[in-house]
Chains A and B, each alone.
Chain A
């Protein structure tokens, strides 16, 4: 059984729930925007925590989609976290959006590019 549309980029949102390094208003607005957009997405409490536990779900995410968009923090850190989890991100097909420095609007724009919303899906 599958929830994903294999042609569409997969979206991963990190809540950074164990620390306050991502501005609360940005991560709240990004989640709100995603939730109202109608797209399917994955949301995790904290990528750091999952990487530390080498959560197999991270490997599934990397394997499961030709394109992956990640709303989290610094790309260098995110790539390091996936590598730590034995799920290294490929150089191509991955877009990392930085909620630590970018506005919610910029992050949502990046997430929306190339993603089919629920309403547009046959």
Chain B
């Protein structure tokens, strides 16, 4: 799914010219909109005017006299007397054909029905800890990482990341890669202790655990499985072998099974790994030359 879809923004306006919502309704309305994927600006009594900057709809209890927002592309909905559900429905209608990534289900509505929701799972780099070593860029086979114009590591294609896979955080020697939706620290962004640093450095040695470079081992083992496949002509056996060989890697780096199962052919893995390593080396060289 593309990440180019920004959450539609709603202004709930209670400033000049609008009556305030009942306090209990205000919270429920905002919660309902957020749970459907809308961003909300609650503009209270101190707001001088409705602010449609970046918003597509302004809702409020205008008592039949909505504010003048002429010249701005925004829909104004008068929700005087409307229930929370009716106010949410008014927003949904105003959205029209605008696409959105709905957190409340796997699909969008209207003409975009059936589009899968994207769970925002991707690495976040802690700029205070990252030393620009590029190990993550070299490790990732899915082009999640890139390099900025000033030769710094950056997360370039977050949507390429495999949901629930925190493996690249395991190869970071500086505990600089976070997955905010991970269930435990320090990968979730929690404080980093000395023990964490030591532990993560040990985990960098997962390649040693496997007897060498991770991808080399993966290729070797997949190749072995392929040979066996040639000899035995048993696709099931080859698949079982591949699964067995990958179990250790999965455990060491917390890589979900489905991510490993979805890996491309050994040749493609090799090609991507070499490409990623070359990009990392070039970025490091450029960064060193610049300093």
A118 close to B189 (CB less than 8 A): no
Contact assessment for A74 and B190 in the assembled complex, using a CB-CB cutoff below 8 Å? yes
Chain B contributes a number of interface residues (CB within 8 A of A) equal to 68
- Is there a chain A Cβ closer than 8 Å to B241's Cβ? no
Distance to closest chain A CB from B289 (angstroms): 24
Say yes or no: A38-B40 contact (C-beta < 8 A), given A3-B50, A73-B180: no
Interface string of A39-50 (1 = CB under 8 A from B): 111111110111
- Distance of B90 from chain A, by nearest CB (Å): 18
Chain A residues 55-84 with CB under 8 Å of chain B are 55-57, 60, 73-81, 83-84
Question: Which residues in B have their C-beta under 8 angstroms from that of A83?
Answer: 125, 127
- In the assembled complex, the CB of A27 is this many whole angstroms from the nearest CB of chain B, namely 9
Instruction: Write the nearest CB–CB distance from B149 to chain A, whole angstroms.
Output: 12
Residue B206 CB within 8 A of the other chain: no
Contact A2 B49 (CB under 8 A): yes
Instruction: Judge whether B40 and A43 touch: CB under 8 Å.
Output: yes
Q: How large is the interface on A (under 10, 10 to 19, 20 to 34, 35 or more residues)?
A: 35 or more
Which of B31-39, B91-99, B215-223, B273-281 lies at the interface?
A: B31-39
A52 within 8 A of B: yes
Tell whether, in the assembled complex, residue A52 and residue B49 are in contact, meaning their CB atoms are under 8 Å apart: no
Select the residue from A28, A49, A73, A78 with max chain B CB neighbours within 10 A: A49
Other-chain residue from B11, B41, B44, B49 in contact with A38 (beta carbon distance below 8 A): B44
**Is A80 a contact of B44 with CB atoms below 8 Å?**
no
Shortest distance in angstroms between B256's beta carbon and chain A's nearest beta carbon? Answer: 15
B136 within 8 A of A: no
**B3-37 Cβ-contact flags toward A at 8 Å (1 or 0):** 11111010101110000100110110011001101
Complex CA gap A121/B45 in Å reads 8
Indicate if the CB atoms of A84 and B34 lie closer than 8 Å.
no
Q: Determine if A2 and B189 form an interchain contact, defined as CB atoms under 8 angstroms apart.
A: no
- Chain A-chain B contacts (Cβ-Cβ < 8 Å), number: 186
Task: Verify B53–A77 contact, CB threshold 8 A.
Answer: no
Residue contact B180 to A45, C-beta cutoff 8 Å = no
Write the B150-166 contact mask toward A (1 if CB under 8 angstroms, else 0).
00001100110000000
Partner of A45, one of B35, B44, B159: B35
Interchain nearest-CB distance for A9 vs B (Å): 13
B189 and A40 contact, CB distance less than 8 A: no
Interface flag for B269 (CB, 8 Å): no
Measured between beta carbons, the chain A residues less than 8 angstroms from B40 are 42-44
In the complex the two chains form, what is the Cα distance from A30 to B14 in whole Å? Answer: 20
**In the complex, are the beta carbons of B6 and A52 less than 8 A apart?**
no
Whether B26 and A80, one on each chain, are in contact in the complex, defined by CB atoms closer than 8 angstroms, is no
Q: Kindly identify which residue among B6, B23, B47, B190 contacts A76, using a CB–CB cutoff of 8 Å.
A: B190
Verify B7–A55 contact, CB threshold 8 A: yes
> Can you pick out 29 interface pairs between chain A and chain B where the beta carbons lie within 8 Å of each other?
A2-B47, A2-B48, A3-B11, A3-B51, A15-B31, A15-B34, A17-B34, A18-B181, A31-B34, A35-B42, A36-B27, A40-B42, A43-B34, A43-B39, A43-B40, A45-B35, A48-B120, A52-B122, A52-B159, A53-B4, A57-B9, A57-B54, A60-B54, A74-B188, A77-B188, A81-B124, A84-B154, A118-B14, A118-B20
Report B's interface with A, CB cutoff 8 A.
3-7, 9, 11, 13-15, 20, 23-24, 26-27, 30-31, 34-35, 37-54, 69, 72, 101, 103-104, 117-122, 124-128, 154-155, 158-159, 178, 180-183, 185, 188-192
